Amino acid sequence: MTVRMDAIRFGLIAATAWAAASLTGCGSSNGGGMTGGLDKSERYVRRGDTGAAGAAPTASGGLAALRVGGRAFGHEEVMTRLAEASGDVVVDEMVLEAQLERRFEARGWTLTDADVSREERLFTDALSLAGVTTDADEGRRLLAQVRDARGLGPARYRSLLRRTAMLRRLVADGVELTSASVELAWALRYGPRHEARIITVPTAAEAQRAVRRVRGGESFASVASSLSTDASAGRGGLLSPFSLEDATYPYAVRQALRGMSEGDVSSPVSLESGYAIVLLERVIPASPGAPARDSDAVRREARLAQERLLMNQLARELVAEASVDVLDRGLKRGLDGR
């Protein structure tokens, strides 16, 4: 599906600092987390450094990058296969990086180490704001987990921080806080949340059949487990609690939930691709210890949210307008697959 319904909450926290990276091949593509899973770079990129230390010659005389028993795979062969498997991911990263560097050069700007370090701090700050951890050591451990899950070795991680820092600086002048944006930031972090179950299917006929089964007495969870195409199917369609103001969830689903009482099942609603049926489990009240809506903490979150929106938009524009010549055959095959 092309909409995100079941994003892992830890991934959402990481996106607070790195949302723009999802457009550059470092994360899920353009909100497609409804079915979850790791993207191509996360499946194929080897963790850690990729130097040739200890490499031995292959039968053809080239340096080996991988040895399995007595069989050596040459560096060129391994790189070609990697390029075919996930070359589009790496190309997207490099295209955006080159475009951003051109923008910086045109403005006479220089990216500093402080700019890059700030991006890493934003991640750990996001963990604290979300209540995940306030411990520095635990924050570093969680950061290492995210890097490992995303296949972010030293080179790709440094490049990710650089791209995000450049994007943030380029959009800084376009951020304008309004009372509406501050109110939205408060609602997303501290306002009421809805816990729901969902069934997603490709066609209207399948959606109607799912509704008939549920209204005929079958449990919503069992129908979701057997029919739903969403990543939540294994949990009986259960979604993490979310705000109805959260635009990363489909508008049609949020609108359906607004008019429902706990235990209600919706009629099928149309998505960008397919149909959904939702069950409202419960409404979680607003946080009793929430700060004032115009507090510094809420205004800071509102600013970060606007930055993310503008950074995503700029990243799309820069990649779309780039002129790219793909010279490597493996890379070209990987890109042609798109």
* Contact status, residue 154 vs residue 49, Cβ threshold 8 Å: yes
Amino acid at 101: E
**pTM reported for the whole predicted model:** 0.62
Residue 285: its H or E element: none
- Bridge partner residues of 265 (DSSP): 279
Q: Determine contact, residues 284/192, Cβ cutoff 8 Å.
A: yes
Encode pLDDT of 183-221 as tens digits.
888 988 889 999 999 999 999 999 999 999 999 999 999
**Pair 294, 162: CB distance under 8 Å:** no
Most confident of 83-97, 109-123, 139-153, 257-271: 257-271
Helix 9-18 and helix 296-321, axial crossing angle in degrees, nearest 10: 80
Round to whole Å and give the CA distance between 77 and 95. 24
Residue 31 predicted with pLDDT over 80: no
Task: Tell me if residue 220 falls in helix, strand or coil.
Answer: helix
If you average pLDDT over every residue of the chain, what do you get? 80
**What is the Cα–Cα distance from 10 to 142, expressed in whole angstroms?**
9
Q: Element (H or E) spanning 219, and its range?
A: none
Q: Locate 269 and state its tokens.
A: 């609603």
| CA 334 – CA 127 distance, rounded (Å) | 35
Among 70-84, 266-280, 300-314, name the one with the lowest average pLDDT. Answer: 70-84
